[in-house]
């Protein structure tokens, strides 16, 4: 979260205030959404699988004076009166530490890669070091979970995969690929209601004023194109404020009535 705020603050020379605030909002939404999702998945799997931890015996403190000792026993053999500690011993897979750490670190690593344009083929080792350092931290945590006898290797691998997949998926929902150098690590603009259904997914986004060009422009259906379409259904020359949400809804209603299921081929290469 500190990194997201810092990147927005240091980009004031190239980003408008609205763009800066929008990127902060989307960055925090990506991080918190990814964390909440991986936590839900991890907790559900822990309770469904119920696999024992490596330190289950030390948590259980089995009573060695039972009358009929057996290799197969239930939790009734445990003398530890703190049942929360005992039950936690059966929630080994997947590792919650690893799913959380890898999720947060992969979002951080991708965010750094996008902001610093790590893949610009200029060979700056310092940027690469900053981008991979979160992954190194996550790998260190994974080693400690095994060395501290809290998880098996399978738990570490499972938690890591969950964190990596959820973190990457959430980042790509809100940000272009880190290989998209033109965009400079900026988030996609906010979605416009319903427009993309009629234009082969070209557009469907509100415009955010920005001093830099970027790939998000290709996803913004500019006002000139929409105005020319509106004029087919309205009196020529009549102006429609397409940056206004109620007018946007009015436009979609007109398109729904006149176009039905048809789709228009519209390209958007000009910034307006």
- In 3-state terms, what secondary structure has residue 179? coil
For the chain, how many residues are written?
Answer: 272
Annotated catalytic residue within 53, 91, 151, 192: 151
151 catalytic residue (yes or no): yes
- In 3-state terms, what secondary structure has residue 152? coil
Residue 198 near residue 263, CB atoms below 8 Å: yes
- Cβ-in-10-Å burial (0-12, 13-18, 19+) of 77 comes to middle
25 catalytic residue (yes or no): no
Half-sphere exposure of residue 194, counting CA atoms within 13 Å on the CB side?
A: 15
- Cβ-in-10-Å burial (0-12, 13-18, 19+) of 75 comes to middle
Annotated catalytic residue within 19, 97, 219, 220: 97
- The crossing angle, in degrees rounded to 10, of helices 125-147 and 96-116 is 180
Q: Which residues form the catalytic set?
A: 97, 151
């Amino acid at each position: 979260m500190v990194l997201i705020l810092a990147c927005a603050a240091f980009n004031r020379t190239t980003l408008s205030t609205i763009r800066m605030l929008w990127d902060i909002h989307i960055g925090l939404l990506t991080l918190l959404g990814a964390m909440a999702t991986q936590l839900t998945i991890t907790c559900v799997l822990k309770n469904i699988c119920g696999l024992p931890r490596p330190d289950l015996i030390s948590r259980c403190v089995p009573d060695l004076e039972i009358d009929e000792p057996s290799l197969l026993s239930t939790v009734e053999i445990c003398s530890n009166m703190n049942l929360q500690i005992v039950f936690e011993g059966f929630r080994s897979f997947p590792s919650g530490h690893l799913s959380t750490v890898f999720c947060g670190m992969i979002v951080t690593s991708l965010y750094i890669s996008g902001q610093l344009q790590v893949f610009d083929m200029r060979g700056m080792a310092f940027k690469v070091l900053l981008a991979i350092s979160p992954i190194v931290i996550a790998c260190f945590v994974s080693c400690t979970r095994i060395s501290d006898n809290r998880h098996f290797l399978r738990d570490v691998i499972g938690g890591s995969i969950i964190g990596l997949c959820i973190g990457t998926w959430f980042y790509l929902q809100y940000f272009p690929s880190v290989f998209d150098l033109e965009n400079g690590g900026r988030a996609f603009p906010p979605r416009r209601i319903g427009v993309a259904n009629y234009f082969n997914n070209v557009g469907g986004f509100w415009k955010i004023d920005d001093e830099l060009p970027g790939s998000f422009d290709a996803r913004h259906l500019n006002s000139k194109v929409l105005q020319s379409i509106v004029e087919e259904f309205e009196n020529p020359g009549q102006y429609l404020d397409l940056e206004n949400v109620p007018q946007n809804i009015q436009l979609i209603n007109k398109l729904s009535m006149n176009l039905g299921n048809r789709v228009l081929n519209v390209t958007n290469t000009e910034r307006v």
